[in-house]
């Protein structure tokens, strides 16, 4: 199966091209094309995964471009990480394809939506089977294109336009970092291949400083894509896209690409302590930073978006703390429960036609399927025992502690408390209490939407059991098998960490219940909406405004300054030159007196000068 893994991304590509050409005629039956083709990809990915359990890594390549005597290659590779990612991506993509059939029903540009989904899925699958950095970058950008197109799907909305533009530009800032990093690495190693790079690293062919420099540049790319501080601001805005897109791209798959990149380049990162520490600090800081913003947001999708940023921070923290398996494990569980949460949120939005949680309430009784599923997702992300997020978060905390990042450990623990609190705040405000809208016809979503949610709900519960300290760390062991550089599949840690994690998550839930469920504690127990703290959090620490006043303004100022130069200095210079020539011409014409003696004199003088030059130089100047 693995020999033919290259075909997996081609199904969605075909879906994209086909729907682009014939979508107009297909109307809403486009969905079946998309669903069918991604389903084939999913089946194939599963087969490849099972194949990979027993067979070694498979890799095949061909020359893509020759530069001098260097051959740049393109190809595909199936190792443990890739095989796992293939399944996650194609599974979530298929479920989203299915769900969208209901969610996007009636949209004028329905086929285009499915075409874009195909493009994105193609790019994402291509990304995860790339065997070298150049090819990864190629798909990395295409993934960004897919994301951009889908964020801007409602192109006529000003917010969607701005959000799409912002997402593209912010991630591109990161991408340039990645580009620089990989080119620098290329001139060190002479290849973009992962294998070659790791070989050079372990052989000590690259200086320590260069390893740190290149891994930091590459990390900039990951920061952009995975919405890590300080390039995180595009991700919450990306919620302007249709909700299924938020589930697929901005929760489960694309934003995890940054984490995937760090994981794929792990042997490079782990060779530099500075790089590892940077990854851990950025991750840990982002985790608590985004969680704190999530505490006060009122838009259901934005709360989820900040929780995504925060959870991605956890994954980075894990990788930066040498917890390779923990990071990838959380990537997987998060993909399932966050996709579930987004799809459930979409179901809610579909029913009540608002995203403001202040206007929701009492939906538990009306949405008998969405409600419990949302609760499962909330329990999973909050790290409540027996749900998937509990196990993966625990691995991360242990890795952080054991790696000696004690400060970051405590931050992560506080962030876990925040997470439980704001997620249950969301749950109680949406599903309990009085119904605030006068939508009498609020109803449960159709089966085509609830079935994908049920599948994800099941996965959100059980997917944690592939890697538990109780029954065995199968996933971690398998992921790190045969590769020393990736560390141990499971890191043993003190038992109290698990208890502490459980305690903070339950405390968060309890507090949320008291404030928003039972309402026995005032919502303003910490100062309320008038307080400065609330204002800072609600405005996301004014990061957008800071960027506006610094980077954007400076860029504009430079542009205006150069425009001034262009208009006055460059053009002015030209006027000066033409002016001088005109002056010369005028002076020359003054000699046109009509007196023959004067002409003769001029001619004679000229000849004399020429003769002198000829005698002195032998006829040739220089």
Per CB under 8 A, residues contacting another protein are 63-68, 70, 134, 137-139, 141-142, 145, 152, 155-158, 160-161, 164-165, 168-169, 172-173, 176, 179-180, 183-184, 186-187, 555-556, 558-560, 562-563, 566, 569-571, 573-574, 619-620, 622
Q: How far is the CB of 575 from another protein (least distance, A)?
A: 11
Q: How far is the CB of 360 from another protein (least distance, A)?
A: 29
Q: How far is the CB of 108 from another protein (least distance, A)?
A: 10
User: Tokens 């040739």 belong to which residue?
Assistant: 620
Integer distance in angstroms from the first to the last C-alpha of the chain?
72
Nearer to another protein, 447 or 585 (CB): 585
309 in Cβ contact with 235 (< 8 Å): yes
Nearer to another protein, 129 or 363 (CB): 129
Q: How far is the CB of 580 from another protein (least distance, A)?
A: 14
Q: Two tokens at 21?
A: 């050409």
Q: How far is the CB of 14 from another protein (least distance, A)?
A: 15
Nearer to another protein, 109 or 534 (CB): 109
Q: How far is the CB of 513 from another protein (least distance, A)?
A: 43
Cα of 75 vs its chain's centroid, Å:
23
472 in Cβ contact with 397 (< 8 Å): no
Nearer to another protein, 142 or 514 (CB): 142
Q: How far is the CB of 568 from another protein (least distance, A)?
A: 12
Q: How far apart are CA 458 and CA 453, in angstroms?
A: 9
User: 65 phi and psi, to 5 degrees?
Assistant: -155, 135
What is the longest distance spanned by two Cα atoms in the chain? 115
Nearer to another protein, 43 or 180 (CB): 180
Q: How far is the CB of 516 from another protein (least distance, A)?
A: 37
Cα of 619 vs its chain's centroid, Å:
69
Nearer to another protein, 144 or 283 (CB): 144
CB count in 10 Å sphere of residue 501: 23
DSSP 444: P
Residue 619 burial by Cβ neighbours in a 10 Å radius (0-12, 13-18, 19+): exposed
Distances (CA, A) of 592 to 578, 585, 603: 21, 11, 13
383 in Cβ contact with 389 (< 8 Å): yes
Nearer to another protein, 562 or 608 (CB): 562
Nearer to another protein, 151 or 339 (CB): 151
Q: Two tokens at 256?
A: 């995890």
User: 130 phi and psi, to 5 degrees?
Assistant: -70, 135
């Amino acid at each position: 199966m693995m020999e033919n893994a290259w075909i997996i991304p081609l199904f969605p590509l075909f879906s994209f091209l086909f729907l682009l050409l014939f979508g107009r005629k297909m109307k809403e039956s486009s969905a079946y094309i998309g669903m069918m083709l991604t389903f084939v990809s999913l089946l194939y990915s599963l087969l490849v995964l099972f194949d990979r359990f027993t067979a070694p890594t498979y890799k095949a390549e061909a020359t893509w471009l020759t530069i001098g005597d260097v051959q740049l290659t393109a190809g595909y590779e199936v190792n443990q990480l890739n095989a796992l990612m293939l399944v996650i991506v194609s599974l979530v993509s298929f479920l989203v394809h299915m769900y969208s059939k209901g969610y996007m029903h009636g949209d004028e540009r329905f086929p285009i939506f499915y075409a874009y989904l195909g493009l994105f899925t193609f790019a994402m699958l291509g990304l995860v089977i790339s065997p070298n950095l150049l090819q990864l970058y190629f798909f990395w950008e295409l993934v960004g294109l897919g994301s951009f197109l889908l964020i801007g799907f409602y192109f006529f909305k000003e917010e969607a336009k701005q959000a799409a533009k912002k997402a593209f530009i912010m991630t591109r800032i990161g991408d340039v970092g990645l580009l620089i990093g990989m080119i620098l690495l290329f001139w060190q190693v002479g290849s973009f291949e992962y294998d070659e790079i790791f070989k050079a690293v372990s052989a000590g062919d690259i200086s320590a400083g260069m390893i740190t420099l290149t891994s930091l540049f590459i990390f900039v790319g990951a920061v952009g894509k995975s919405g890590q501080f300080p390039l995180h601001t595009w991700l919450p805005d990306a919620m302007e896209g249709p909700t299924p897109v938020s589930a697929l791209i901005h929760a489960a798959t694309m934003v995890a690409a940054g984490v995937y990149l760090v994981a794929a380049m792990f042997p490079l990162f782990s060779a530099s302590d500075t790089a590892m520490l940077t990854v851990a600090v950025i991750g840990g800081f982002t985790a608590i930073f985004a969680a704190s913003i999530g505490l006060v947001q009122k838009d259901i999708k934005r709360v989820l978006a900040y929780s995504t940023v925060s959870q991605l921070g956890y994954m980075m923290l894990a990788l930066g703390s040498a917890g390779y398996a923990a990071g990838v494990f959380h990537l997987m569980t998060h993909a399932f429960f966050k996709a579930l949460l987004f799809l459930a949120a979409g179901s809610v939005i579909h029913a009540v036609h608002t995203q403001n949680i202040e206007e929701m309430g009492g939906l538990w009784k009306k949405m008998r399927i969405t409600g419990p599923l949302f609760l499962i997702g909330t329990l999973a992300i909050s790290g409540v025992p027996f749900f998937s997020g509990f196990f993966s978060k625990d691995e991360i905390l242990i890795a952080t502690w054991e790696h000696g990042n004690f400060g970051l450990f405590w931050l992560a623990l506080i962030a876990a408390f925040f997470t439980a609190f704001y997620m249950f705040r969301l749950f109680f405000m949406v599903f309990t209490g009085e119904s605030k809208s006068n939508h009498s016809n609020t109803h449960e979503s159709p089966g085509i939407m609830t079935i994908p949610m049920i599948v994800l709900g099941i996965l959100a519960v059980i997917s944690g059991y592939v890697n538990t300290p109780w029954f065995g760390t199968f996933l971690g062991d398998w992921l790190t098998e045969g590769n020393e550089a990736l560390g141990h599949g499971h890191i043993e840690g003190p038992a109290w960490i698990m208890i502490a994690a459980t305690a903070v998550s339950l405390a968060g839930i309890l507090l949320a219940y008291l404030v928003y469920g039972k309402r026995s504690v005032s919502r303003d127990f910490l100062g309320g909406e008038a307080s400065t703290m609330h204002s800072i959090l609600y405005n996301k620490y004014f990061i957008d405004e800071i960027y506006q006043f610094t980077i954007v303004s400076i860029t504009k100022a430079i542009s205006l300054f150069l425009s001034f130069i262009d208009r006055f200095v460059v053009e002015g210079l030209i006027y000066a030159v033409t002016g001088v020539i005109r002056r010369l011409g005028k002076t020359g014409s003054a000699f046109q007196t009509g007196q023959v003696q004067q002409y003769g004199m001029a001619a004679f003088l000229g000849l004399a000068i020429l003769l002198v030059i000829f005698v002195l130089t032998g006829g040739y100047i220089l």
